[in-house]
Amino acid sequence: MRTQSLRTTLVVSLVMLLAVPLLAQTHFASLTGTVISKDGNPLPKVELVATNQATQVTYTGRSNDAGLYTISALPIGTYKLRAQAPSFQTYETNIIKLESGQTARVDITMQVGGVAESVEVTGVAPILQTQDAVVGDVISGTTIQNMPLNGRNFSQLSLLLPGVITTEPDSFTQPKNTGSGRPFVNGQREQENNYMLDGVDMNEAIDNLLPYQPSPDALAEVRVETNNYSAEFGNVAGAIVGSTIKSGTNEFHGNVFEYWRDSSLAANSWDNNRVTPAAKKAELSQHIFGATLGGPIVKNKVFFFGDYQGFIRNRPGELVRTMAPVLRRNCAAMVSNVPLSCAAASPSASHQRLFCCAGPGLISEPSWRSTSSAPPAARMTSRPNSARRCTRCSTPRCARRESSPATGTGSPTGATASSR
């Protein structure tokens, strides 16, 4: 009884998994067109069969009374379309490549003849997208494999399209977007993009981040639509970035990869080299590794595909700060040793003590800068460090402070306290 219950649970789970793609068919392609005879009359009830060349799975359709047909929910790939009708020769196209979200129009003209006879079209012109006015492009799996994606972040591919920019290129170099790493499309904010995986929404509720980044080796293609996309997507004003995972075929295929990045093979940064002596190069050891595998379970019927990608990075924390040059730091240290008698020249709390370095081995005399309309309290002259002296304040106010009793503010102790 327990075994039967477990078996039932597994069957139900399998049915639910198989039903998931049926709920999200927006990433599929479709074929549409009209079937007419040689004299231009529409042909109803013509059987049409689209055969996937990689899996040999067939998808069928039938023309209506107006000769129109549509075969929808076609996984991306290459197909051959065949049309059959009594008293007409069988019509078969050459290989047609379908991309995600594409509606390819293929019009068929059938010749009168026996069913055993067939007409194979070998010189069909490239199929244009004439069913909608979507602005965008499809990045094929071949382009994905050949592009040098830093950090294996497929979001970089969207930057290939016109109207797509970023102000932070470095944010696209992580296998997972934890902060930004999203494009600005046609002047919209980076939060105004909608990411989809196999037709399913793939956006975090907080800041519209991308929660999952598939391995580029697992992607069949990436479709980026920047304008005039269908209302079924909605929700955003930026771009629709739809990625499609590869499917298993009648042939086993896969790969194993490891991308290693280490600081020992990298140059020091410009920020570190601009100081003297140069700052130590940041340490980094990064590994991105994984594998993909796909193939048939039951040939021409059931297929599988799986992928794995791991990410390990060891980067100790670092903090680089710009400090004042050595000459300025030495100057500040020497100025801090000004005799107390110089501090006694402070005219009032509204004056601020002022020192500056005048060149190698030189230091300016202590002076005062008034924060009110009072005249400067002392002049500033540059002398060698060995000949430092205080230039007394000559204003009446200063003189009164210097002649005040020792217990008042004119005393060295009191003057030092007030100057602080």
Average confidence (pLDDT) per 10 residues, the chain, 420 residues = 53 45 63 94 95 95 96 94 92 91 91 74 67 88 91 91 91 78 91 91 85 92 91 84 94 95 90 82 92 96 95 81 69 53 43 41 42 42 42 42 42 37
- Cα angle 380-384-389, degrees, rounded to a multiple of 5: 55
Domain 2-120: top CATH class: mainly beta
**Tokens describing residue 206:** 């907080």
pLDDT given for residue 24 in this prediction: 45
- Bridge pairing between strands 108-110 and 29-37: parallel
The DSSP letter of residue 8 is H
Domain ranges, ordered by start, for the chain? 2-120, 133-245, 254-322, 326-419
Q: Report the candidate in 219, 38, 14 with the shortest Cα–Cα distance to residue 119.
A: 38
pLDDT given for residue 368 in this prediction: 42
Dihedral angle, C-alpha 210, 216, 220, 226, nearest 10 °: 40
The DSSP letter of residue 169 is G
Report whether 71 contacts 29 (CB < 8 A): no
pLDDT given for residue 96 in this prediction: 92
pLDDT given for residue 343 in this prediction: 43
Which residue in the block uniquely carries the two structure tokens 């007419």? 36
Phi and psi dihedrals of 190, rounded to 5? Answer: -70, -20
369: helix, strand or coil: strand
Residue 221, H or E segment = strand 219-227
Homologous superfamily in CATH for domain 133-245: TonB-dependent receptor, plug domain (2.170.130.10)
Q: CB-based burial of residue 345 (10 Å sphere; 0-12 exposed, 13-18 middle, 19+ buried)? A: buried
